[in-house]
Amino acid sequence: MNPSNPPPGPSTPQIEELVNKHYNATIQELRKPHDHLMIVRVKPDAEVPSFSGGQYTTLGLGSWESRVDGGPLAELPKPKLIRRAYSISCPMLDAQGNLLANDQIDYLEFYITLVLRPDSDDPPLTPRLFSLKEGDRLHLGKKPVGTYTLKPIQSDDNVIFAGTGTGEAPHNSMSVELLKRGHTGKIVSMTCVRYKGDLGYLDQQDQLQKQFSNYRYAAFTTREPENIDQNHPQYVGKQYLQDIIHPEKFQEQFGWTPNPEQTHVFLCGNPSMIGLPEKDEQGTLVFPQPKGMVELLSEQGYQLTTAKNPGNIHFEKYW
């Protein structure tokens, strides 16, 4: 393609028509812990839809929108709305440090990582989302959906949330939902990220731990100096959730040992962390290697939830 003669894109009237047709929400607030991580609050034009902690909806922008990296846009036959599903997160606490339930806010909050994939016939959304600023318009799905919720949880059950990166998002709203309704069982939310700077909700999590004796939060990293430099005075090696879920490690970290008869585990994030089994040619379930959380938990007596059989291992296919 000759840069001085780019293919004609949609005209301004076309764009205005598409924006009016598809965009139904506004960026109310936007915070970037760093250039590749965003916490964004989206206010719909209509009433904020009700949702249960753990559910998701879609965000969307036109293929004509600019990318944060200034990369070239895809040469599509016609402009299209790019939509992707995102779990709904939660602010967790208000300005006074009180629990902020899902039905007390007039926006939906999302926790998003920038993925700088080149434009193609299937253009990426996040490079466009990261070019937005407060007051900008976008598409928001009308109805949150999903079955990754707290529906099977009883008030005295112990609950473990395990997420990687922005897979922590649904666990934030689920944790607040449990605490708000006076959950009496133990709650652990643990997450694994590359760097401490990738923890967008650390302040809120610390405050929750101080307020609720049955709530514990822990974050583990893989690329900090203490993870990779054996000469570091606090060297711990790379820390993965698969290591922490072993009973003795979990006891050391959180002060109690989970009992499969009274504990539910929720998994969201990297598929390698979750480790779902797949059927081979003979129809036998085969777990991936190295072992993921599902296999490790199954060895401890937990049961994977399926469409036909409820269990106490729940998962969200995050990508």
Nearest CA to 27 out of 4, 13, 54, 45 is that of 45
Give a yes or no: residue 152 inside a domain.
Answer: no
Asked if residue 171 and residue 292 are part of one domain, the reply reads yes
Q: What is the pLDDT of residue 12?
A: 78
Is pLDDT above 90 for 221? Answer: yes
Q: What is the pLDDT of residue 6?
A: 47
Asked if residue 162 and residue 129 are part of one domain, the reply reads no
For position 111, which CATH number holds?
2.40.30.10
Please write the tens of the pLDDT for every residue from 225-254: 999 999 999 999 999 999 999 999 999 999
- The whole-angstrom separation of Cα 96 and Cα 274 is 36
Q: What is the pLDDT of residue 312?
A: 97
Contact predicate 74/94, CB 8 Å: no
- The total domain count for the chain is 2
3-state secondary structure the chain: CCCCCCCCCCCHHHHHHHHHHHCCEEEEEEEEEECCEEEEEEEECCCCCCCCCCCEEEEEEECCCCCCCCCCCCCCCCCCEEEEEEECCCCCECCCCCECCHHHCCCEEEEEECCCCCCCCCCCCHHHHCCCCCCCEEEECCCCECCCCCCCCCCCCEEEEEEEHHHHHHHHHHHHHHHHCCCCCCEEEEEEECCHHHCCCHHHHHHHHHHCCCEEEEEEECCCHHHHCCCCCCCCCCCCHHHHCCHHHHHHHHCCCCCHHHEEEEEEECHHHHCCCEECCCCCEECCCCCCHHHHHHHCCCCECCCCCCCCEEEEECC
Give a yes or no: residue 55 inside a domain.
Answer: yes
- The whole-angstrom separation of Cα 129 and Cα 112 is 9
Average confidence (pLDDT) over 178-193: 97
Average confidence (pLDDT) over 96-110: 89
Please write the tens of the pLDDT for every residue from 121-162: 999 999 999 999 999 999 999 999 999 999 999 999 999 999
Q: What is the pLDDT of residue 10?
A: 66
- The whole-angstrom separation of Cα 27 and Cα 139 is 10
Q: What is the pLDDT of residue 9?
A: 61
pTM for the whole structure: 0.94
Asked if residue 172 and residue 132 are part of one domain, the reply reads no
Asked if residue 166 and residue 136 are part of one domain, the reply reads no
Asked if residue 75 and residue 204 are part of one domain, the reply reads no
For position 203, which CATH number holds?
3.40.50.80
Average confidence (pLDDT) over 8-14: 70
Q: What is the pLDDT of residue 8?
A: 52
Q: What is the pLDDT of residue 319?
A: 60
User: In whole numbers, what is the pLDDT of the chain averaged over residues?
Assistant: 94
Q: What is the pLDDT of residue 104?
A: 84
Asked if residue 180 and residue 92 are part of one domain, the reply reads no
Give a yes or no: residue 238 inside a domain.
Answer: yes
Residue 307: pLDDT band with limits 50, 70, 90: confident
Is pLDDT above 80 for 5? Answer: no
Place of tokens 């929400």: 25
Asked if residue 130 and residue 37 are part of one domain, the reply reads yes
Place of tokens 């994030």: 269
- The whole-angstrom separation of Cα 40 and Cα 38 is 6
Is pLDDT above 80 for 316? Answer: yes
- Identity of the amino acid at 269: G
Give a yes or no: residue 148 inside a domain.
Answer: no
Q: What is the pLDDT of residue 74?
A: 94
Q: Which domain holds residue 56?
A: 12-140
Asked if residue 180 and residue 121 are part of one domain, the reply reads no
Give a yes or no: residue 151 inside a domain.
Answer: no
Is pLDDT above 70 for 4? Answer: no
